[in-house]
Structure 1
Amino acid sequence: MRTVLAGAVSVLLTLALATSGHAGSRSEEILARFENANQWRDHVMVVAHRAGGLQDGKRRFAENSIAALRDAISLGAEMVEIDIRRSADGELIVMHDSWLDRTTDCTGEVVTRAMDELRTCRLVVEGTGTVTAETVPTLREYLSVAKGRILVNLDNKLDTADLIDMVALARAMEMEEQVVVKANLWNAERVAAVKAVMARVGQGFQFMPIMADDAVRDPAFVEASGKAFAANAVEMIAWRGDTETMTVSGGPLFSARVKAAAIRGNWHIWVDTHAIVNKPGGYLAGGRGDELAVAAGFPNEVFGFWAERGATMIQTDEPRAAINWLAANGYRVPYAELEKPVASVAGQAGASQPPTN
Structure 2
Amino acid sequence: MRLLSVPIVLALCVAAAPVSAAGLRDRLYDPGDGVLVVAHRACHRAAPSRGFERAVPENSLAALERCVALGVDLVEIDVRRTSDGQLIIMHDAKVDRTTDGKGRVADQTLAQIQALRLKDGEDEAPPTLEAFLAAARGRILVNIDLKGPYAAEAAAIARRVGATEWVLFKAKARFGAPPLADQALYRDLAFMPMVEAKAARTPGDLADIAQRQASGARQIPAIETVALRGPGFAAVRDAARAARIRVWTNTLAAKGWRGVLDQSGDRQALRDPDRAWGRLIAQGASIVQTDHPAALLDYLERRGLRGHAPSAIATAGLPPSS
Contact 1:155 1:181 in 2 (8 A): no
Contact 2:254 2:265 in 1 (8 A): no
| Pick aligned residue for 1:236 from 199, 211, 225 | 225
- The one-letter code sitting in structure 2 at the alignment partner of 1:261 is A
Aligned residue number for residue 233 of structure 2? 254
Mapped partners of 1:202, 1:212: distance in 2: 22
Deviations 1:237-293 (A, max 9, x none): 236xxxxxxxxxx423431x433321222211011001245563278xx53111111
Deviations 1:57-100 (A, max 9, x none): xx612111111111111111111111111111111111111111
Shift of 1:233: 1.0
Q: Does 1:299 align with 2:288?
A: no
Contact 1:122 1:133 in 2 (8 A): yes
Work out which of the two has the higher radius of gyration on C-alpha atoms and give 1 or 2.
1
Shift of 1:200: 3.6
* Aligned residue runs from structure 1 range 212-291, under 5 A: 212-216=196-200, 217=203, 218-228=206-216, 230-238=219-227, 250-255=229-234, 257-278=235-256, 280-281=258-259, 287-291=263-267
Cα pair distance change 1:71/1:215, threshold 3 Å: same
Mapped partners of 1:105, 1:170: distance in 2: 29
Aligned residue number for residue 113 of structure 1? 108
* Aligned residue runs from structure 1 range 9-88, under 5 A: 25-37=19-31, 39-40=32-33, 43-54=34-45, 60-88=55-83
Aligned residue number for residue 98 of structure 1? 93
Q: TM-score, normalised by structure 1?
A: 0.73
Mapped partners of 1:102, 1:96: distance in 2: 10
Contact 2:195 2:209 in 1 (8 A): no
Q: TM-score, normalised by structure 2?
A: 0.80
Unaligned runs of 5+ in 1: 1-19, 125-129, 240-249, 335-357
Q: Give the structure, 1 or 2, with the largest relative contact order (CA under 8 Å, sep 6 or more).
A: 1
Deviations 1:75-126 (A, max 9, x none): 11111111111111111111111111111111001011111111111112xx
Shift of 1:327: 1.1
Mapped partners of 2:27, 2:212: distance in 1: 22
Secondary structure in structure 2 of the residue aligned to 1:180: strand
| Pick aligned residue for 1:166 from 150, 154, 168 | 154
Equivalences, count: 286
Cα pair distance change 1:104/1:183, threshold 3 Å: same
Secondary structure in structure 1 of the residue aligned to 2:94: coil
Contact 2:15 2:141 in 1 (8 A): no
Cα pair distance change 1:77/1:237, threshold 3 Å: same
| Pick aligned residue for 1:154 from 129, 144, 150 | 144
Secondary structure in structure 2 of the residue aligned to 1:122: coil
Q: CA RMSD in A?
A: 2.7
- The one-letter code sitting in structure 2 at the alignment partner of 1:322 is L
Shift of 1:169: 1.1
Mapped partners of 2:297, 2:263: distance in 1: 20
Cα pair distance change 1:109/1:279, threshold 3 Å: farther
Secondary structure in structure 2 of the residue aligned to 1:174: coil
Aligned residue number for residue 340 of structure 1? none
Deviations 1:13-40 (A, max 9, x none): xxxxxxx959985443221110122x42
Shift of 1:307: 0.6
Identity among equivalent pairs (%): 33
Contact 2:17 2:139 in 1 (8 A): no
Unaligned runs of 5+ in 2: 1-13, 48-53, 309-322
- The one-letter code sitting in structure 1 at the alignment partner of 2:286 is T
Q: Does 1:326 align with 2:291?
A: no
Secondary structure in structure 1 of the residue aligned to 2:123: strand
